[in-house]
Structure 1
Amino acid sequence: MKSIKKILYTVVVVIAYISCSNDSLSKEDFSTNLKASLEIENDITLAKEVMEVLNNHRASIGLNPIAWYSECEELAVEHSSYMVKNNKASHDNFYERSQILKRKGASFVSENVAYGYQDALSVLQAWLDSPSHKITIEGDYTHSGIGIVYTDNGIPYYTQLFIR
């Protein structure tokens, strides 16, 4: 019985804390990235299509394919959600994302972001038309994950994290 009371007390304290918290935090809350990622719906079908056309491009120029990595996907979904919330494409808080991935064994981390493109070929072409994004796509990376989150108006925001 005491265990149940302790659990209920903890739940009440957490709810009270959350309800009194500051909603205008400027940084993403990386301590709950997994929970937040699970609550946000990623367009996994489109994400896999982006990865497929990206790997087709890499193969066409003699590069190895990049493998899907769920840790990158989780952080990418979280960041795409952040961009939707802030109504802008950005690399805000990239350092934090890169440090999380480096603690999991990555040597190098890079990121591409975009918004508004309705299909995989369009977003890939936009990235290839940008020299800095193209360098990342054609870089010496082994794993990646993509997060695509939509605004209420159906505009997709993309984040793709690359690691080696």
Structure 2
Amino acid sequence: ESSSKPESNKQEQPEESKPEEAPQPSQKPEENKQEKPAENQQQTKPVEKPKEVQYMDSMTQQLWSEYNSYRQSLGLNPLKWSGKYAEWTRKHAEEMAKKNTGSYHKSYPEGGQVVGNNSSKNLNASKILQQFKNSPKHNQNITEADLTEGACAVYKSSDGDYYFTIGFDY
């Protein structure tokens, strides 16, 4: 008997209650193109906010004082503070702190530089200078006899890391 076949139930179901079929790529190519940017937007990572950083003025002054004392203990002349290097070292240390780049050397005015970073929460000027003294290449740079002027800068990021630069000239 044909009235008991399942096909008769399908015919009685109204068309509006049928679930819509997903469009196939070959059926609606324009819609697929429009969906791609939405997918890309979902995959895009949110822009990270730059770190909050703080210039450590008293630590910078202390580092400069201890650096010159160290030079004098070796029989070398203390360096004069340079406005040119003060601006450059401050910008460089701030950039390292904001970008969380760690220590890297960058183009600088004439002369040389030593840079560093440290995640120790209880860092002070003496410990920064000790890091440079413990590195043979950095120590050689900061104790060159012909140096005449320079500057330094120390920044602290919101996560507690310190970033520091000493720049110098002949």
Q: TM-score, normalised by structure 2?
A: 0.62
Is 1:120 aligned to 2:125, yes or no? yes
> What amino acid maps onto 2:66 in structure 1?
V
Is 1:134 aligned to 2:145, yes or no? no
Q: How does 1:11-160 map to 2 (within 5 A)?
A: 42-92=55-105, 94-95=106-107, 97-98=108-109, 102=110, 109-116=111-118, 118-139=123-144, 140-160=146-166
Q: TM-score, normalised by structure 1?
A: 0.64
* Structure 1 residues 85-130: Cα deviation after superposition (integer angstroms, max 9, x where no partner): 22122334x22x22xxx4xxxxxx1111111261111011110010
Q: Report how many residues are paired.
A: 115
Alpha-carbon distance between aligned partners in 1 of 2:80 and 2:59, rounded to the nearest angstrom: 16
Displacement of 1:41: 5.1
* Structure 1 residues 119-160: Cα deviation after superposition (integer angstroms, max 9, x where no partner): 111011110010111011101211111121111123210011
CA contact (8 A) 2:54 2:157 kept: no
> What amino acid maps onto 1:112 in structure 2?
V
DSSP 3-state at the match of 2:154: strand
Alpha-carbon distance between aligned partners in 1 of 2:125 and 2:97, rounded to the nearest angstrom: 19
- Greater helix content: 1
Rg larger for: 2
Among all aligned residue pairs of Structure 1 and Structure 2, give the percentage whose two residues are the same amino acid.
24
